[in-house]
Amino acid sequence: MRKAMAEAEVGDDVFSEDPTVNQLEKIAAERMGKEAAIFVPSGTMGNLISMLSHCKRGDEVILGDQSHIFLNEVGGLSALGGIHPHIIKNEPDGTLDLKTIEQKIRASDLHYPPTRLITLENTHNYCMGSPISPEYMRQVGNLAQKYNLKIHIDGARIFNAAIALKLDVKDLLCEADSVMFCLSKGLSAPVGSIVCGGKDFIHMTRKWRKMVGGGMRQSGHLAAAGIIALNNLTERLEEDHSNAQKLAQELASLKGIVLKPELIKTNIIFFRLEDPNIKPESFLKDLEAQGIKILMIHEGVFRIVLHREISEPQVKLVIKAITVLMK
Ligand SMILES: Cc1ncc(COP(=O)(O)O)c(C=O)c1O
């Protein structure tokens, strides 16, 4: 990957003249089954410019209360886009209840902001990395059609969903007007995300990308890593899923760890520490001292994410370290 990055043929991508970026965007659009694609520095920017392109100031977007866009993207949609978030409780599997979505879609009324967009996350980071099924997507698609709404997918880990459900990634996106996915994270590129959608939509995202400072010059050096990620590294996500499952099963057998391995479908594990003798902060520090970095999402609730650089020996190490701490 580093060699490909060093040797990439580059040009000025602000003028769409970088051949490596153009190649990456073409491959990405084809993989997602969409007309066009745009390379962006991060998933956050990809989601932001997608929402800015679908919505006008004062429009409303329906999204989950556990979604990354709502929780972790600095409220960019409101702060920069004047877009009103209409929040619905996420179900434990990451979906939004269909009846609730329908109830929340605004009628045409002087007092209401117009509903423009439904945003879903697949896989759902804070809902155990759950993959969202194409059957559910079809139902949301029917609703969107009925009320003339657009659908955006925060698919930061959409390939994890496709692998877990044993489907082509396109099958998860038939109803989506746009999708953002990350080349970093499990796909192992150092930087970058992609937004895919229709030609006119992507044309608009290009203007927004420039406005929010994401127009890059010789970004082919970064895109070269993305091409390798897309061409060679999607299938290997299966390894992360099986390592996550092994780790989850072992951790679940430890007294003081609350975890249901049957809920782990991809590369993300959540567990709760329930041992009155162990302080969550010191649990975290003790692991960090051994080179094991996990995230405390809130007091006593932890997230572990598996990726290419954590293979079986590291999984064993983590199991051993946590087993010793729980004794
Ligand atoms: C579901 C989801 N969407 C979007 C993002 C944002 O990606 P980035 O960190 O590249 O901005 C993340 C990051 O973890 C994520 O988990």
pTM: 0.97
Cβ–ligand 1 contact at 268 (below 6 Å)? no
Tell whether ligand 1 has an atom less than 6 A from the beta carbon of residue 186: no
Measured from the CB, is residue 219 less than 6 Å from ligand 1? no
Residue 303 Cβ < 6 Å to ligand 1: no
> What mean pLDDT is predicted for residues 314-327?
95
Pairing of strands 115-121, 150-154: parallel
Q: Whose CA is nearest to atom 9 of ligand 1?
A: 43
Three-state DSSP class for 179? strand
pLDDT confidence of residue 23: 98
Span 28-79, pLDDT tens digits: 999 999 999 999 999 999 999 999 999 999 999 999 999 999 999 999 999 9
Query: Phi, psi (5° rounding) for residue 254?
Result: -90, 135
Q: Ligand 1 center to residue 74 CA distance, Å?
A: 12
* Residues 165-178: tens digit of each pLDDT: 999 999 999 999 99
Ligand 1: which residue has its CA nearest to atom 8? 43
Mean pLDDT of 266-282: 96
Please tell me the distance between residue 297's alpha carbon and the centre of ligand 1 in angstroms. Answer: 15
Other Cβ atoms within 10 Å of 299 Cβ, number = 10
- Percent of the chain having pLDDT more than 70? 100
Ligand 1 midpoint to CA 37 (Å):
18
What atom in ligand 1 is closest to the CA of residue 182?
10
CA 237–ligand 1 middle distance (angstroms) = 17
Judging by DSSP bridges, how do beta strands 295-298 and 301-305 pair with one another?
antiparallel
Q: How many CB atoms lie within 10 A of CB 221?
A: 19
Contacts of 124 (CB under 8 A, 6+ apart): 64, 66, 67, 90, 93, 94, 130, 132
46 Cα to the center of ligand 1, angstroms: 9
Separation of CA 194 and ligand 1 centre (Å): 12
Sorting pLDDT into bands at 50, 70 and 90, what band is 245? very high
How distant, in Å, are the alpha carbons of 123, 146, 155 from that of 63?
14, 18, 14
Backbone angles phi, psi at 84, to 5 degrees: -95, 120
Task: Determine the residue of 65, 67, 72 to mutate for testing ligand 1's pocket, defined as the one with the most ligand atoms within 8 A of the Cβ atom.
Answer: 72
d(CA 268, CA 215): 32
In the chain, % of residues over pLDDT 90:
100
pLDDT tens, residue by residue, 123-135: 999 999 999 999 9
266 CB under 6 A from ligand 1? no
Residues 6+ apart with CB under 8 A from 48: 73, 76, 77, 80, 81, 208, 212
Mean pLDDT, range 91-116, rounded to an integer: 97
CB atoms closer than 10 angstroms to residue 29 = 19
Q: Which of 66, 68, 212 to mutate to test the pocket of ligand 1 (most atoms within 8 A of CB)?
A: 68
- pLDDT for res 31: 98
Q: Is the CB of 42 under 6 A from ligand 1?
A: yes
- The mean predicted confidence, pLDDT, of the chain is 97
- The model's confidence at residue 327, banded by pLDDT at 50, 70 and 90, is confident
pLDDT at position 234: 97
CB of 125 shorter than 6 A to ligand 1:
yes
